[in-house]
Chain A
C-alpha cells in the first residue's frame, strides 16, 4: 500500500461559529473521515459532526456492577469461607455491615473504568499524530479552531476539498503531512 502524500487538509478558523458552519456543511457534503479540534468542548460542534452517543455510560455501568459484586463477594468469601470469626454473635454473613465496603468498591471500579475507558476509546496516550505537523496547530489548545478532512475519506480530493474549505473564510488551509 502506497503512503498518501498528504494525511489531510486542515482549515484554521478564528471564530467558533465559522468552525461550526464548516463542520455542518462538510457533513452535508458527504465527508465522514474528519475531525474538529477546539480549545474547549463545544456542544455545537458535536451536533454538527453528529456525535450523539458514546460508550462511556455502559463502560462505567459495567465497572460499577463488577465492583459492587466483587466487593460483596470478597467480603462473603472472607467472612464465611476463608476466615469465619464470631463477632458479638452476629451472623458470618452480616450484610448491613458489608454495605459500606461494597459501596466503596462500586465507586472505585466505576471510576477506574471511566477514566481508563475514556483514555482507551480516545486512543491516548498517543505519542505521535500527524495533525501536530501543522505549525499553527499549537494554537488549538489556546484560541484557534480547526477542521481537518482526512485523505482517507472517499470524497477527498486535494483541490476540490481545499476549495470547499476555503468558502467558510478560514485563516488558512494547510496540507497535513502524514
Chain B
C-alpha cells in the first residue's frame, strides 16, 4: 500500500481509475452480468430503441428487395463512377469491425487487462459489422443470386476464378475474417453459456443455453486446452485482421487510377480501420454502461484508453493524408497532381475539408486529459470520427473515379434515395443485432471478469 501511495506522488498519472471497481466477488460479478439476460427483463428504452432500429432494418430489406427486382440502375452509380456507395459502405463497415479483433486478440497477446470487460461486445460488433459489409459487394455484383460464382468450385460452365485479381483476394479475406471472428466469439462464449445454463430458471432458456454450452463443466483439463486454443486463435486473428484491410486497400492500390495507385494504402487503411472501430466501440459502450449501470465494469479507464488508441491511430491516418497530397505533387505525374488538386478544390472539395476536420483535427482534443475524461466529449468526437471515416472512403472512391485520364469521360456522382436508404438501413440492421445480442447473451465476458478479481489470486505457501 505504501509503495502505491509513493508511486502516485511521483507520477500523478499513476493514479488511474481501476479496470473494475472494488467490492466485487466471483458471485456478484456473475450475478450482475447474467441478470441482464436472465432476470432483469427488457427496460422500456430497449423496446423503444428496438422498434426504431427494426424499422430501419425493414427499410434495408425493402430497398434491397427493390434492387433485386429493378437492378443497380436505382443507385447513383454509372460510368465513370461505378463503385459509389456500395464500395464506400463496404470499406467503412469492414473497417469498423477491426477494433473488435484488435481488442480481443492483439490486446490479449499484449496482456492488457483493460480489454476484459469490453472484448465480448466488441467482438459481437465485429461480427455484425462484417455482416453489413458483406451485403454491399454481394448486391453490387448486380445478380446477387449468382454470388457463389466467386468461389472456386467445379461447375458445368468449365470456368474458374481468376486469382490474380484483388477482388478474389477480397472474397477470401472477408470470408475468412467472418469465419474466424465467429469462431473466436463463440469459443469465448462457451464458459459463459454454461454459466447461463446453470443460472437460468426458465426451462426453455436452460435447454437452449445448455445445448449451446455443449456440456461445458469447467474441468481443469478442458480449461488447459481451452486457454491454449484461445491464445493460438488470438495469434491467428492478429495477422488476419492486419491482412483483411490490407487486402481491401489492394482493391484500390493494385489499380492504376490516379489517387489509388499508392503503396501507403495498406498501412493507412489498417490504421483507419482501427480508428473507426474504436469510435464505434465507444459509441456502443457509452450508452450501454449508462443504461445497464455497468460503470463499475466499463470504467473511465477503459474509455480513456480507447480515446488514446483513437488519437494514436488518428495521427497515423492524418499522416497518410499529408503523404498522399505530398506524393501527388512530388511524384511528378500530371494525372496524380491534377487528382490531388481536384480532390482539394474541385467539385467535391468540401467533402475533403470536412474529412480533414473530422479525422485530422477533431481528435486532437484528446491531448487534454479533461477531454478524455468527459463522456460527452468522447461521444461527440466518436460520432465525428465515424462520419470522417465514411467521408474518407467517399473521397477516395469518388474523387479518383470521377475525373481520371480523359476529360471527355469525366462525370459527377450523386447518390439516390435508394443509396441512402440502403446505407442507413444497414446502420439500423447493425444496431438491431446489437440490441438482440445484449438481450440474449452476456455482453461482458463473465469468466474473464472473474480472473481479474483480487480473490482469484492464489498465494502459494510453497513453490
Contacts and interface: CB of A to CB of B under 8 A. Distances in A.
Interface of A: 15-17, 20-21, 23, 35-42, 44-46, 49, 51, 54-57, 60, 74-75, 78-79, 82-83, 85, 87, 90, 94, 97-98, 100-101, 103-105, 107-108, 110-112, 114-115, 117-119, 121-122, 124-129, 131-132, 137-143
A40 B458 contact: no
A104 B460 contact: no
B172 A115 contact: no
B371 to A, nearest CB: 36
Contacts of B216: 124, 141
A125 B211 CA distance: 8
Given A100-B173, A119-B214, A56 B229 contact: yes
Contact of B450 (A39, A85, A129): A39
A41 B228 contact: no
Contacts of B224: 41, 46, 51, 54
Which size class do B's interface residues fall under?
A: 35 or more
Given A16-B456, A111-B179, A37 B228 contact: no
B163 A79 contact: yes
At the interface, is chain A mostly helix, strand, loop or mixed? Answer: helix
A148 to B, nearest CB: 9
A105 B151 CA distance: 13
* Chain B binding surface SS class: helix
B164 A122 contact: no
B83 to A, nearest CB: 20
Nearest to A116: B183
A127 B219 contact: no
Interface stretch (B137-145, B194-202, B304-312): B194-202
A42 B223 contact: yes
Given A37-B217, A122-B222, A94 B172 contact: no
Contact of A16 (B195, B218, B236, B455): B455
Nearest to B169: A100
Contact of A85 (B31, B162, B222, B229): B162
Interface of B: 25-27, 30-31, 152, 158-164, 166, 168-169, 172-173, 176, 179-180, 183-184, 186-187, 191, 194-195, 197-199, 211, 214-229, 232-233, 236-237, 239-240, 243, 247, 250, 447-448, 450-451, 455-456, 458-461
27 contacts: A23-B220, A37-B219, A39-B26, A40-B447, A40-B448, A40-B451, A41-B226, A41-B447, A45-B223, A75-B163, A79-B163, A79-B164, A87-B162, A100-B250, A101-B168, A101-B172, A104-B243, A108-B180, A117-B229, A124-B214, A138-B199, A141-B191, A141-B197, A141-B198, A142-B198, A142-B199, A143-B25
Contact of A45 (B27, B220, B247): B220
Contact of A125 (B26, B199, B214, B226): B214
Contacts of A127: 215
Contacts of A129: 215, 217
Given A44-B460, A108-B180, A143-B30, A56 B217 contact: no
A138 B198 contact: yes
Contacts of A83: 158-160
Contacts of B173: 100, 104
Given A35-B220, A37-B218, A78 B160 contact: yes
Given A20-B458, A57-B228, A141-B191, A111 B183 contact: yes
A147 B351 CA distance: 64
Name, among B180, B215, B232, B450, the residue most crowded by chain A CB atoms within 10 Å (CB to CB).
B232
A111 B236 contact: yes
Contacts of B227: 41
Given A101-B168, A122-B221, A143-B27, 5 more contacts: A112-B183, A125-B215, A141-B191, A141-B216, A143-B26
A46 to B, nearest CB: 5
A54 B231 CA distance: 13
A118 B30 contact: no
Nearest to A64: B236
A126 B163 contact: no
Contacts of A119: 214
Contacts of A44: 458, 460
A79 B243 CA distance: 23
A125 B217 CA distance: 11
Contacts of B183: 111-112, 114-115
The 6 lowest CB-CB distance pairs between A and B, nearest first, are A143-B26, A125-B214, A126-B215, A118-B229, A83-B160, A100-B169
B152 A140 contact: no
Given A107-B236, A112-B183, A122-B221, A39 B247 contact: no
A72 to B, nearest CB: 10
Q: Which of B221, B250, B447 has the largest number of chain A CB atoms within 10 A?
A: B221
Contacts of A56: 225, 228-229, 232
A107 B176 contact: yes
